[in-house]
A and B are shown apart, each in its own frame.
Chain A
Amino acid sequence: MLQFILKRICVMLITAACLTFIVFFLTNLFPNLEKLAKNQGNIRMTDDAVISWLDKRGYSQNIFKKYGEWLGVLPSLKVVDDKGQAYSRCSRPSIPASEASDFCGLLQGNMGFSSVFKDEVSAIISKRLNLTAYLMMAVLSVMIPMALAVGVISGMREGSRTDRTLSTFSIATTATPEYVSGVIFIVIFASSKTGLSPFFAEWGWIDGRTIVKGSAASAMDNITFRNFALPVMALALYGMGYIARMTRASMAEVMTAQYIRTARLKGVKFSTIVFKHALRNALIAPFTVIMLQIPWLLTGVVIVETMFNYKGFGWSLVQAADNNDIQLLLGISVIAVFVVLVTQLISDIGYAFLNPRIRVS
């Protein structure tokens, strides 16, 4: 078991190194750097000025060397120009280049300095990630119970009318990406002109003009049902269908097993069979799926946070990419890749751990 885990972790680290290098390469392509130089320096810079701007800050070095500096395994380049002005990528507004340390990379816990937000990337990410954590927690606590319930109920009597209805429902949810369900939800619940809100307001059932809010901006300070319901529902709905279908398949398979038939013939109550005998075995497969669904939610988080103006991790990704904030985009990518790889690792190990039929080593 230990060997298996170690091997998986090794593969994970190699993958992480490859992926971060690809991201590094793509963000450090010359047109991006040129844009950065013009944004930071002067829009009407000449080509020569751009080159010298990039030279001074170490951007025109070999890509592997730059990657090494960014990782923190190579010392960062320090340049002193003819006017005696020193430049280093480790310098900050408060720390001049002459006093900056030689190593300032990922391994030193230094993710760089955001050119748009004018702040340490690590500080921005921890703040934004915190906001997204609330969203994720809310989504998972709605999505998982709902998906498991739908899956178990439809899987326990395969082919019944309930099964068909619920299966069609879960197919429908997988056909509704967040940007579609978000629009539909806003039209129904958060518009003062259409949907249910005008009726509810007329009958005096709600205080405001709409049932819930179409923006989650106020949820950053204070989460309420009114400002958080729609983003959570939009995310949970799309992710739910797949888990429900997997649970259903797994449950249906377990229900045809010999030991369930024996229990039924013994005259055990149906509810006891489902809860005591079938459920535990049926939930092994969905566990993996749920873990693998988390990186999937990442795309959804970006969509939902943009749509509902919730300034979390996904929102910062969009901001970083749109404004060519290379350091922030790199930092966000590292976190995103890390989340994907760790959930894959947990799902692999967890599956081997939970399923007694799999013996590793």
Chain B
Amino acid sequence: MEPLTSFNIFTNIVSQFWVVWLGIILVFLISIRTKRSTGLYGKLFDSPIGMTGFVLVLFWVLTALFADLIMTHNPLDQVSGMKNKVPGTPLRGATENDYQWYLLGGDHLARDVFSRVIAGSRIVLKIAPLATLFAFMVGITLGLPAGYFGKKIDTTLSFLANLILAFPVILLFYLLVTPEIIETGLPKYLAGVMFLIPILFMLLLWQSRFHIRPKVRNKFMLWTLLVGGWIYLGAAFNADPLVIIRNLFYGPEVEWSLFPKGLVYMQPNILIVFVSVVFVNSPTVFRIVRGMTMDIQTRDYVAAAQTRGETPWYIMLWEILPNARGPLIVDFCLRIGYTIILLGTLGFFGLGLESESPDWGTTINSGRKLLSIYTHPALPPALSLMSLVLGLNLLADGLREQSLKD
């Protein structure tokens, strides 16, 4: 088998992504057709910057979704003779069923760079949006009362937020994301507190809205407690109810093929990464929400609700929060980007994630050691990370521009 030329590498990569191109075209056709009826999302298609950002983000989201179709090899497989090989090198000892080349070459452990980048997108897009969402839930739940009630609550919470903000991020990571800390169980307790807040948030949401209709409220609350509680137990304490029930009846030594670790399971090292990223992000969200609450509080509709005798939490969650959504959505996009950069930083220092994990930060870290001789292992993850974050920033910029037009 001949090595591929640059042009052939390019065309092969493009054709490998066919499902992504198809997806982008479909999403665009539907979105543009319906753009007058989809509100802010539809308006995005009037701004070239927003649209560019949306394409980049959509590209990576679809790539992460269909990673199994796009990957040419297993991202962890090491093939002898493929160490540090340049892009387009034919696979040594390939059989009929194998993809015949390493499209972007091999890394220092003879793994396929292309497949690793694709697999990395999945890890990054699994952690970053979810962690950002949690940070938002925490920031909102604490920021609303701080801004609305002011006084002592505000002073205390603001002091705590400033305390975390004054902590250099990198130092926090080095102190928090270590095997020793995982040993002490500290991340578990942190997660135990932090993951409770979204459930609390949802419960407050239902209670404030439906407290005069107990039947509806109880229904919503029950579901929240059931689903939220399940996820809470599984994610924070690694105690998925399914596993606990199985162990009760069959004992822990029986191996299960279906959901061996339960429906919700988080590796301890991923959990600590997740917790520390939420920890770093939530004070900033808190500050934004607090500031906006103080501003919106002076509006007439809040005064009207207060006169009607609504409870403070109703006003905060159902009057103030929906009116703060514009800036929050914009900040959400930006913050996902920042979270991706933070994840990359963690990977770059080899903190938390396993050393063979294909996420972009770790890949850059392992590629940089031989960077001046072999440039191909580190460059693709670096460019991928940059393009995804750029996409999110452009998307946020487009959204901001469009939401200001109203």
Contact = CB atoms under 8 A, between A and B. Distances in A.
Q: Do A and B come from one complex?
A: yes
A347 interface: no
Interface stretch (A29-37, A43-51, A99-107): A29-37
B393 interface: yes
Interface in B359-406: 361, 364-365, 367-368, 371-373, 375, 378-379, 382-383, 385-386, 389-390, 392-394, 397
A53 interface: no
Interface in A254-296: 295
B348 A303 contact: yes
A99 B372 CA distance: 53
Given A168-B49, A183-B364, A299 B169 contact: yes
B225 interface: no
Interface stretch (B145-153, B176-184, B256-264): B176-184
B386 A175 contact: yes
Contact of A298 (B170, B186, B375): B170
A314 B178 CA distance: 18
A307 B183 CA distance: 29
A214 B345 contact: no
A19 interface: yes
B368 A175 contact: no
Interface in B168-216: 168-171, 174-176, 178, 180-181, 183-184, 186
A15 B375 contact: no
B30 interface: no
B160 to A, nearest CB: 9
Nearest to A180: B382
Contact of B183 (A26, A31, A174): A31
Contacts of B371: 183, 186-187, 191, 214
Contacts of B181: 26, 29, 31
B230 interface: no
Contacts of B372: 186, 190-192, 210, 214
Interface string B313-352: 0000000000000000000000001000100110011000
Contacts of A214: 371-372
A210 B372 CA distance: 10
Given A15-B162, A26-B176, A179 B364 contact: yes
Contact of B174 (A183, A192, A317): A317
A177 B390 contact: no
A23 B162 CA distance: 16
Nearest to A344: B166
Contacts of A174: 393
Interface stretch (A56-64, A109-117, A216-224, A332-340): A332-340
A263 B345 CA distance: 48
Most buried by A among B175, B183, B390, B397: B175
B7 interface: no
Contact of B368 (A183, A317, A332): A183
A182 B349 CA distance: 14
B175 A179 contact: no
Interface residues of A, number: 55
Interface residues on B, range: 35 or more
Given A15-B163, A295-B168, A179 B348 contact: yes
B167 interface: yes
Nearest to B160: A18
Contacts of B178: 321
A221 to B, nearest CB: 21
B171 A307 contact: no
B402 to A, nearest CB: 15
Given A29-B184, A177-B344, A179-B382, A171 B166 contact: no
Contact of A32 (B49, B180, B389): B180
A184 interface: yes
A336 to B, nearest CB: 5
B168 A307 contact: no
A15 B158 CA distance: 12
Contacts of B389: 175-177
B341 A177 contact: yes
A193 interface: yes
A187 B341 CA distance: 20
Contact of A31 (B180, B344, B392): B180
Contacts of A176: 386, 389-390
Contact of A194 (B184, B365, B375): B375
A168 B401 CA distance: 13
Contacts of B373: 191, 193
Contacts of B344: 177, 179-180
B175 A27 contact: yes
B166 A177 contact: no
Nearest to B392: A175
A168 B166 CA distance: 30
Contacts of B341: 177
A306 B168 CA distance: 17
Contacts of A171: 390, 393-394, 397
Contact of B166 (A172, A303, A340): A340
Contacts of B183: 31
Interface in A306-332: 306-307, 314, 317-318, 321, 324, 329, 332
A175 B379 contact: no
A22 to B, nearest CB: 8
10 contacts: A15-B163, A19-B167, A175-B337, A177-B345, A179-B345, A187-B378, A298-B168, A299-B168, A314-B170, A324-B180
Interface of A: 15, 18-19, 22-23, 26-27, 29-32, 35, 167-168, 171-172, 174-177, 179-180, 182-184, 186-187, 190-195, 210, 214, 295, 298-299, 302-303, 306-307, 314, 317-318, 321, 324, 329, 332-333, 336-337, 340-341, 344
Closest 7 CB pairs of A and B: A31-B180, A175-B390, A175-B389, A321-B174, A183-B382, A299-B170, A26-B175
Given A177-B389, A337-B167, A340-B167, 4 more contacts: A23-B175, A175-B389, A193-B373, A324-B180
